[in-house]
Amino acid sequence: MTDTDIKKWYVVRAVSGQENKIRSYMESEINRLGFSHLVEEMLVPTQKVVQIRKGKKINKEKVYFPGYIMIKANLSGEIPHIIKALPNVIGFLGETKGGDPIPLRTAEVNRMLGKVDELSTETESVAIPFVSGENIKVIDGPFNGFNGTVEKVNEDKRKLEVMVKIFGRKTPLELSYMQVEKI
C-alpha cells in the first residue's frame, strides 16, 4: 500500500447554498488536472424534506450541514491548493493558518455517514404549516369551499381538527393538511 492509496475524509468549507455547484466544479477541476485517482468520493450531506405549497406535496432535498462538503481523498501535493483556489471555497475545516488540512477521526466519519444514511432512509416528515386558531379554507373532500378555523393540530395522526360553520352551526371536522389551505 503506497501513500497514494491512503485516503482520508476531510471537510471542505464552502459558501452556504452553493455546495452542489462547488462539488461538481471541484470534481471537474480535479479530473481536468488528472488527479482523479487521488480523490475517491465527494458528498454533500442532504436530507429529504416534504413541504406543502398550495395544497401540494413537494419533495425537496435540504443540505444537512450547510457550507460543508465531505471529501475522501489523499490530499498530497497540489490537491489542497487546487481545492482552496476554487471560487466560493473558504478552505478546509480544522486547518491551522498555513498548515495542512486535518482529516476527520474515524468515529466522526462513521457518525456523519451514519447520519447521512439515516436521513436518506428516514420517513418523510412534513413540516406542519398550520397552527391553532388559524383561518383556513377546505379545498378537498365533501366540505370543499367551506371556511373554518383550526381548533387543534394532531401531529401523531397528521390531521387537523377544524371547526366549520355549516348551515349556521359549527361542526367539527378532522381533515388532513392536504385538504385545507390558509386564507
C-alpha cell at 21: 455547484
Same domain, 96 and 150: no
Q: Would 130 be classed as within a structural domain?
A: no
Angle at 150 between CA 145 and CA 152, to 5 degrees: 140
Domain ranges, residue 74:
3-121
Domain shared by 97 and 141, yes or no: no
Closest to 159 (Cα-Cα) out of 182, 113, 126, 134: 126
Cβ-based neighbour number of residue 44 at 10 Å: 21
Q: Do both 143 and 71 map to the same domain? A: no
- What pairing do the DSSP bridges indicate for beta strands 8-14 and 89-92? antiparallel
According to the model, what pLDDT value does residue 177 have? 84
How far is 65 from 48, CA to CA, in rounded Å? Answer: 13
Q: Are residues 20 and 95 in the same domain?
A: yes
Q: 116 and 148 in one domain?
A: no
Q: HSE on the CB side for 97, CA within 13 Å? A: 0
Are 79 and 159 part of one and the same domain? no
pLDDT, averaged in runs of 10, over the chain (183 residues): 73 93 94 93 85 77 89 90 92 78 85 68 61 91 91 86 90 89 88
CA distance 167 to 63: 48
Q: Is residue 150 part of a domain?
A: yes
Do 19 and 65 lie in a common domain?
yes
Same domain, 103 and 139: no
Is 37 in the same domain as 69? yes
pLDDT of residue 62: 84
Number of structural domains (the chain) is 2
The answer on 107 and 76 residing in a single domain is yes
The confidence score (pLDDT) of residue 30 equals 93
Closest listed residue to residue 109, CA positions, set 57, 70, 153, 144: 70
Residues 116 and 141 in one domain: no
- Is position 110 within any domain? yes
CATH number at residue 26: 3.30.70.940
The last residue of one of the domains, among 96, 121, 146, is 121
User: Is pTM, for the whole model, over 0.75?
Assistant: no
Q: Is 60 part of a structural domain of the chain?
A: yes
151: Cβ contacts below 8 Å, ≥ 6 apart:
132, 161, 162, 163, 172
